[in-house]
Amino acid sequence: MYMVLFIYGQDSYSSREYLVRVIDKFKQKHDPNGENVLVFDGEDSQWEKVVGAITGGGLFSSKKLIILKDIFASKELREALNEFLDAHDLDADVSLIVYEGASPDKRSSLFKKLNKGKFVYAFNALDGRAIEQHITRMAEERGKKIEPSAIRELSIICGTDLWRAKSEIEKLASLVSDIITINDVKENTQGKLENDIWQFVDAISSANKKEALNMLDAQLESGVEPMYLLSMMIRQFRLLITLHNAQGVDSALASSLSLHPFVVKKTRQQSGRFSIEKLKAIYQALSRLDSALKSSKGDPKVLFTVLIDSMVK
């Protein structure tokens, strides 16, 4: 019987770290040069080659490690692997890893089969405390300390995206000599734009057209791309619609949406200041602006100004 490891979950950063550790351990023990570590990535993998790798002999070593990455999106590969596992019993020299850097369809036969196995490692979305622990560790690994307030600020900015957190920590670590402060975070990350988007929503909800226009002018003059600014607005209003009258506690909603609990709490507060009809009307206006910007019809600043006029009447 061959060993199957099933690694999956929304926390793709941690799951990828674990996958790398498993591969490194196999190489150290059996295959220093990695000749018998075979990786098949995504839908582009050909099933015939996968079968050949599993059933064929190893090169220079009897031990083999086969990694199938992100195959759940392909119905053909999913069903083929499911049937293969039902029909074959291979020797102990073959180790098979099924890695899914997301949450696979739990209704599929393959998921149900793999999830019953002995070696199942689920990396679910992290809560706020776990995210902050990761940020602290990332800073320490780069020889830096980070203030508690800076940790919290960065966790709010990055949400559950540890890949972004890693990128931000690497940037901040290169800029400071010893300690990462909250001012370092505020001055050197994209968090300011996200805070401005919240202020923009507050201005719209209170019909403060002047403040909304000032935020818009400041962002465009600072060099923020109009399409990126619009994408942030669209994301925020989509989230406002999602959380409007949402049931459940902040922590549960944060986990299901892969957001920081603070973001969920603040967004729920903001959504209560709008009717669902108003939110949907604003979202439709944002979609029209998206089409106009993509077709290069008009000056972006003028188009954004018209948008704000339609939001605040």
Instruction: Show pLDDT as tens, one digit a residue, over the chain (313 residues).
Output: 457 999 999 888 899 999 999 999 999 998 888 888 888 887 667 888 888 888 876 555 578 899 998 888 888 888 999 998 888 776 678 889 999 988 888 889 999 999 998 899 999 888 778 889 999 999 999 999 999 999 998 988 887 788 888 988 998 999 999 999 999 998 888 666 777 888 888 889 888 999 989 888 888 887 778 887 888 888 889 999 999 988 888 888 887 887 878 888 889 999 999 999 999 999 988 888 887 887 766 788 888 898 898 888 7
Q: Are residues 67 and 177 in the same domain?
A: no
With CA atoms as reference, report the closest residue to 308 among 226, 235, 215.
215
- CATH classification of the domain holding 153: 1.10.8.60
Radius of gyration of the chain (CA): 24
Phi, psi of 272 (to 5 degrees): -70, -15
Q: Are residues 166 and 196 in the same domain?
A: no
pTM exceeds cut of 0.75: no
Q: Are residues 181 and 196 in the same domain?
A: no
Q: Are residues 105 and 149 in the same domain?
A: no
- The whole domain housing 146 covers 128-188
Q: Are residues 38 and 114 in the same domain?
A: yes
Separation CA 220–CA 80 (nearest Å): 51
Total residue count of the chain as it appears in this document: 313
Q: Are residues 45 and 85 in the same domain?
A: yes
Structure tokens at 208: 């403060």
- CATH classification of the domain holding 37: 3.40.50.300
Phi, psi of 45 (to 5 degrees): -65, 140
- How big, in percent rounded to 5, are the helix, strand and coil portions of the chain? 60, 10, 30
Amino acid sitting at position 123:
F
Domain boundary among 165, 188, 211: 188
Q: Are residues 14 and 116 in the same domain?
A: yes
Separation CA 164–CA 78 (nearest Å): 30
* Number of domains, the chain: 3
Helix ranges (DSSP H) in 159-225 = 162-175, 182-188, 191-205, 209-221
Give Cβ neighbours of residue 193 (< 8 Å, ≥ 6 apart). 219, 224, 229, 232
Output the CA torsion sign for 289, 292, 298, 299: positive
